[in-house]
């Protein structure tokens, strides 16, 4: 994780000020008890996250303000957290000011969370052949980066776009959009491009295509970009985590490089292997099953990679997420 910065910005983070704004400071110390430091009580199904050798958590809501993510992370027993920094299904952007940064910093200062990321808007399509949509997407993507830098998040997870016309042209547009945004928005947050299920004209459904996207970036930006692997996505894309587990990681290392793996989205799937359908399911209750998750959680090659669940939350989100994280900790115990 990027070392903490001690300076808090005193001006709102806007398009004009983002380049000089400082990110929020990171957590400095682990509390004496994982239940100390934040209001609210952990759910009865939650387990102590302080024993996590690798950060483990969930995507949580920011309803009521971004700082509320700390309360929800604590409620489910998380040592990692993923959020949206705005409404993911709307183009409306927002700026983050010093008050919000201070609230985020204070909320997480004594929490067990030691890795955090955001997922960008589902509307962004950097590969679009439509000039207006692509321009709007680039502006929105830049705004996502600014908010992540301001909050001091470790990563921003982003899906490659839909090419809609020609695959090679779409991939080139996607690369150019990433370059434009990263050059315009310097900061500490790493961009993680997420492997997709390969549905329709969506890019990033094969390891080779993701490798080609990364390899097309200039060397000056290479350290700022990595990969997020979603188990439900790669399963739907045709990578058999049950029968060809080791082959998947060998191929990943050969085409992308394990050094570039920055996050794992641990989700079971409602969809069949190779179906190209992005349908998440609770761990152990889908078509992937428990064994691949046990192997992931005990694989020394992946011991450094933060893990986030995006499984269905049902009627009781905290109870469901807490149960899933507890299950994963059990699977990861030798």
Q: Is residue 112 part of a domain?
A: no
List pLDDT tens digits, range 8-20.
343 344 434 433 3
List pLDDT tens digits, range 192-212.
999 999 999 999 999 999 999
Q: Is residue 36 part of a domain?
A: no
| The residue to which tokens 């990692």 are assigned | 80
Q: Distance between alpha carbon 95 and the CA centroid of its chain, in Å?
A: 20
Domain ranges, residue 205: 117-331
Q: What is the pLDDT of residue 14?
A: 43
Helix, strand, coil share of the chain (percent; to 5): 40, 15, 50
Q: Is residue 178 part of a domain?
A: yes
Q: How many CB atoms lie within 10 A of CB 236?
A: 27
Q: Is residue 221 part of a domain?
A: yes
pTM: 0.89
Q: Is residue 122 part of a domain?
A: yes
Beta bridge partners of residue 262, listed in sequence order: none
Q: What is the pLDDT of residue 110?
A: 84
Cα–Cα distance between 3 and 309 in angstroms, integer?
25
DSSP 27: P
Burial class (CB in 10 A: 0-12, 13-18, 19+), 290: middle
Q: Is residue 2 part of a domain?
A: no
Range 254-263 burial, b when 16+ CB lie within 10 A, else e:
ebbeeebbbb
Q: What is the pLDDT of residue 334?
A: 78
Structurally, the chain folds into a number of domains equal to 1
What is the CATH classification number for the domain harbouring 183? 3.20.20.150
């Amino acid at each position: 994780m990027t070392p903490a910065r001690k300076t808090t910005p005193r001006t709102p983070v806007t398009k004009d000020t983002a380049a000089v704004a400082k990110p929020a400071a990171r957590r400095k110390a682990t509390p004496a008890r994982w239940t100390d430091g934040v209001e609210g009580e952990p759910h009865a199904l939650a387990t102590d996250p302080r024993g996590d050798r690798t950060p483990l958590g969930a995507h949580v809501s920011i309803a009521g303000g971004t700082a509320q993510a700390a309360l929800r992370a604590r409620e489910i027993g998380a040592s990692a957290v993923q959020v949206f920094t705005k409404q993911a299904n709307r183009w409306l952007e927002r700026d983050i000011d010093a008050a919000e940064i201070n609230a985020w910093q204070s909320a997480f200062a004594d929490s067990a969370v030691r890795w955090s990321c955001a997922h960008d808007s589902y509307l962004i399509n950097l590969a679009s052949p439509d000039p207006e949509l692509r321009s709007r997407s680039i502006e929105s993507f830049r705004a996502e980066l600014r908010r992540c830098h301001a909050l001091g998040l470790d990563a921003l997870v982003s899906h490659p776009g839909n090419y809609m016309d020609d695959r090679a042209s779409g991939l080139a547009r996607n690369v150019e959009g990433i370059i434009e945004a990263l050059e315009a928005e310097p900061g500490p947050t790493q961009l993680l491009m997420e492997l997709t299920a390969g549905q329709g004209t969506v890019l990033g459904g094969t390891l080779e295509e993701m490798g080609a996207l990364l390899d097309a970036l200039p060397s000056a930006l290479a350290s700022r970009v990595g990969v997020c692997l979603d188990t439900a996505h790669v399963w739907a894309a045709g990578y058999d985590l049950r029968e060809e587990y080791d082959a998947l990681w060998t191929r990943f290392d050969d085409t992308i490089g394990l050094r570039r793996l920055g996050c794992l989205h641990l989700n079971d799937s409602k969809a069949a292997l190779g179906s190209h359908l992005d349908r998440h399911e609770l761990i152990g209750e889908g078509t992937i099953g428990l064994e691949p998750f046990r192997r992931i959680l005990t694989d020394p090659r992946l011991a450094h990679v933060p893990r986030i669940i995006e499984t269905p939350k049902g009627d009781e989100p905290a109870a469901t997420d807490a149960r899933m994280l507890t299950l994963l900790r059990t699977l990861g115990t030798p």
